[in-house]
Structure 1
Amino acid sequence: MSDHPAGRANASELPERDLPPGRHALLREQLMTELRRQEHEEPGERKHTGRRTPGWVRRRGTGDGRSPRPRLLRPALGVAAVAAATAAVLTLTPALGGVQESQMIDQRAVALLEDVALAAESRKAPAEIRDDQYVYVLSKGAYRTYFQEGKTRIDPPQKRELWTAVDGSREGLLVDEGHFGGRTATEPDTPGLPTNTSYRSLQRLPTDPQEMRDWLYEHASDNEFDDDHNAFVLVGDMVRETLLPPGVAAALFRAAGTIPGVEVRDHVRDAAGREGIAVTRESRGERTEIVFDRTTKEYLGERTVRTEKDEHNGLSRGDLIGQSAVLERAVVDRTGERP
């Protein structure tokens, strides 16, 4: 697998007619929203909202013992940037000390995620789901364990079964064959928490891509990664062990296509060894990969990989931090029941 992401294009290579219908308005609105936000902020000011750290087992940290680096403000963009957005390219250029980084909307990622959204819309939701039922998800996963003195370990992927109450009002069940697993009751939804992932909670999420994008940025984790990366990670958190209503899934994937820095990688394997195509994003030495079936465009799983050497934890470039694969989703009548 190549270490170089595919599909990055510049403005001259992005004819407007090649974008899926409706993407231009969303990209332009994304840019104008950023400009309006900057007009009302003082230099160095950041607006924060209450955010929940996603529940997936994921290690968050710089990996080198340093404190998180300061966030970089994006300077206001002018008429040229608006024209570029019309051509489906959004360039964000945060700068500090004369050093600039460019993040672009990747046309290939937009096209792939549009195909994924169309496939999600075509799948029918299970008929007559009752509140007293449970969403069942069978998966495999492996996540790196961190010990003292820079020692880490990642075990082979193990089976994981999760039952979640459809309405989120009751305990669920997790059966995990991993090293730290076992049979555990899971908590019901937290009342009023926007990122609850029971089926009824997911039904209340936006089905409009722009509204979904706003929702992702509002509720993503607030940590040392940049806002765009946290929004992308939340996309994976919302789909991994859930049953998404078709309209919500479509909006989620279309919104993911508007996140700067998202790219496409070919020939990526999930934790079950299935090869697919992935949308990816890199931040602070980690690359998150959300993998789809190349033909059906169905979600397969997710991987997180080191892209820089991490001397503090003894990790090298290319080392796996975590991986997952969803094998089955269904609706059943009780915890412990399998389809």
Structure 2
Amino acid sequence: MNASPSQPHPAEWTESQGLLPSVERDLPAGRHQFHKEQMMAQIHEDLRTDRTPARPALARPRRNPFLRRAILLPAGAFALAGAVVAGVALSGGNGGGGKSAVATGPALTTQVGAVDAKGAPQLLDRISLVAADTSGPAVHDGQFVYIASKVAGTHVRTADDKSTIVSRELHDRRTWMSADGKDGWLIEAGETSEDGMTLAGNTPVSGAYDALVRLPTDPDALLRHIYRESDAVRDPEVPRDQAAFVAIGDLLTESYPPAALSAALYKAAAKIPGVVAVDDAVDAVGRHGVAIARQNDTDGERTEWIFDRKTLKFLGERNVVVEKMADSPFKVGTVLFTSAITQRAVVDAIKQVPGQAG
């Protein structure tokens, strides 16, 4: 892969943690983008802790492509479904019965990076060139895309009518997904047993390799598909352009897009209004980089895709509060979700890791 010229080096800053004040009120219905995801996450937590049920509107769990807004692709169509695990059956293991990653820490916070409103197209063009020059293995029938990552997040917990802002500790997340998207496995502390849980269904997720290779690689055609299908399922309170940006980000994270499609996704993102470059962002494991981002003005949150400053390799993503909203308990700088991709590979079996015999 050809390295691109490095970006100007900004002043360094460090991640910090600070306990934000408790809140005693609910957020309005619809404040957060994906209510069903929050409901499911809260149910998981309630089952684990056996405490007074929390109000789901307050929950802000970390993003989870298989237990959150599942993005589904029926055969022959590029469709985004906004329902949690719609068409996907979760079984095996014991749900959240494994080693818990219960949210007990203080809120994750960071210094918000400076925005360059005009720099995104140029940066995305460079990123797309790097992506196009990066050859990944093809995924064949019977094989699985393996992705290892580190994730953490911040949300509001309510117990005994008292609300506090808490974070889940940084923890491992590993997924396996078949080429056709109908068979997979998830291992994640606090969400599955130590052995994990199966992800299976008749409707394949859109991040499945077979689905990705059918998508157009012309950026304009690809973006039209994304807008059309995300329009059909997005939460009405999520702006249209933000929904499209998030949809592209989902295809860049827990999947293994072919090089041509990755390049097209970045070029398509450059055409979305409101997309900006950020001079400094940090992934879940502390790697600094530059970011491509877009702010959701309805909730004051910015979704950032983080790239290595020199190689422009995709590192991870995060959601950061960049504008204090009157009806939100989160301060500017709160990291609501953060992830770091540590490994992507193609393996021959579920629960097999790279380098292990089939």
Report TM bin, short chain. Answer: 0.5 to 0.7
Matches within 5 A, 1:15-54: 51-53=80-82
Q: Does 1:298 align with 2:308?
A: no
Q: CA deviation digits over 1:132-175, x for unaligned, max 9?
A: 01000010111224323442321232111100001223x21111
Q: Does 1:235 align with 2:248?
A: yes
When normalised by structure 2's length, the TM-score is 0.62
Answer whether contact 1:163 1:336 (CA < 8 A) is retained: yes
Answer whether contact 2:144 2:346 (CA < 8 A) is retained: yes
Match of 2:234 among 219, 222, 230: 222
Alignment partners' CA distance in 1, 2:84 and 2:219: 24
Q: 1:55 to 1:197 in 2, by over 3 A?
A: farther
Answer whether contact 2:170 2:284 (CA < 8 A) is retained: yes
Matches within 5 A, 1:207-286: 207-220=217-230, 221-223=233-235, 224-283=237-296, 284=298, 285-286=300-301
Alignment partners' CA distance in 2, 1:158 and 1:332: 22
Could you tell me which amino acid in structure 1 is paired with residue 273 of structure 2? P
Q: Alpha-carbon deviation of 1:290?
A: 0.6
Answer whether contact 1:150 1:312 (CA < 8 A) is retained: no
Answer whether contact 1:136 1:338 (CA < 8 A) is retained: yes
Answer whether contact 1:54 1:237 (CA < 8 A) is retained: no
Q: Alpha-carbon deviation of 1:313?
A: 5.2
Report the 3-state secondary structure (helix = DSSP H, G, I; strand = E; otherwise coil) of the residue aligned with 1:317. Answer: coil
Could you tell me which amino acid in structure 2 is paired with residue 159 of structure 1? D
Q: CA deviation digits over 1:290-320, x for unaligned, max 9?
A: 1111111111100101123356552111111
Alignment partners' CA distance in 2, 1:55 and 1:279: 26
| Equivalence for 2:186 | 174
| Equivalence for 1:337 | 352
Match of 2:330 among 312, 315, 335: 315
Alignment partners' CA distance in 1, 2:277 and 2:202: 34
Q: CA deviation digits over 1:66-113, x for unaligned, max 9?
A: xxxxxxxxxxxxxxxxxxxxxxxxxxxxxxxxxxxxxxx944101111
Alignment partners' CA distance in 1, 2:152 and 2:186: 15
Report the 3-state secondary structure (helix = DSSP H, G, I; strand = E; otherwise coil) of the residue aligned with 2:271. Answer: coil
Answer whether contact 2:151 2:338 (CA < 8 A) is retained: yes
Report the 3-state secondary structure (helix = DSSP H, G, I; strand = E; otherwise coil) of the residue aligned with 2:119. Answer: helix
Matches within 5 A, 1:42-121: 51-53=80-82, 106-121=117-132
Alignment partners' CA distance in 2, 1:112 and 1:267: 13
| Equivalence for 1:153 | 166
Report the 3-state secondary structure (helix = DSSP H, G, I; strand = E; otherwise coil) of the residue aligned with 1:144. Answer: strand
Q: CA deviation digits over 1:166-222, x for unaligned, max 9?
A: 1223x2111112x3443111124616xxx6211111111110000111122122251
Answer whether contact 2:206 2:251 (CA < 8 A) is retained: no
Q: Alpha-carbon deviation of 1:235?
A: 1.3
Q: 1:233 to 1:108 in 2, by over 3 A?
A: same
More displaced 10-residue stretch of structure 1: 233-242 or 152-161: 152-161
Q: Alpha-carbon deviation of 1:114?
A: 0.9
More displaced 10-residue stretch of structure 1: 146-155 or 317-326: 146-155
RMSD: 2.4
Could you tell me which amino acid in structure 1 is paired with residue 127 of structure 2? V
| Equivalence for 2:17 | none
Q: 1:249 to 1:54 in 2, by over 3 A?
A: farther
Q: CA deviation digits over 1:271-298, x for unaligned, max 9?
A: 1111110011111211111111111111
Q: Does 1:132 align with 2:142?
A: yes
Q: CA deviation digits over 1:216-248, x for unaligned, max 9?
A: 212225121211111111111111110001111
Q: Does 1:123 align with 2:134?
A: yes
Alignment partners' CA distance in 2, 1:250 and 1:54: 28
Could you tell me which amino acid in structure 2 is paired with residue 118 of structure 1? L
Higher percent of residues as helix: 1
Q: 1:133 to 1:176 in 2, by over 3 A?
A: same
Could you tell me which amino acid in structure 2 is paired with residue 246 of structure 1? A
Q: 1:188 to 1:135 in 2, by over 3 A?
A: farther
When normalised by structure 1's length, the TM-score is 0.65
Unaligned runs of 5+ in 2: 1-9, 12-77, 86-115
Answer whether contact 1:168 1:198 (CA < 8 A) is retained: yes
Q: How many residues align?
A: 239
Could you tell me which amino acid in structure 1 is paired with residue 248 of structure 2? V
Could you tell me which amino acid in structure 1 is paired with residue 131 of structure 2? A
Answer whether contact 1:167 1:198 (CA < 8 A) is retained: yes
Answer whether contact 2:226 2:244 (CA < 8 A) is retained: yes
Answer whether contact 1:175 1:181 (CA < 8 A) is retained: yes
Answer whether contact 2:294 2:304 (CA < 8 A) is retained: yes
Report the 3-state secondary structure (helix = DSSP H, G, I; strand = E; otherwise coil) of the residue aligned with 1:336. Answer: coil
Q: Alpha-carbon deviation of 1:55?
A: 6.4
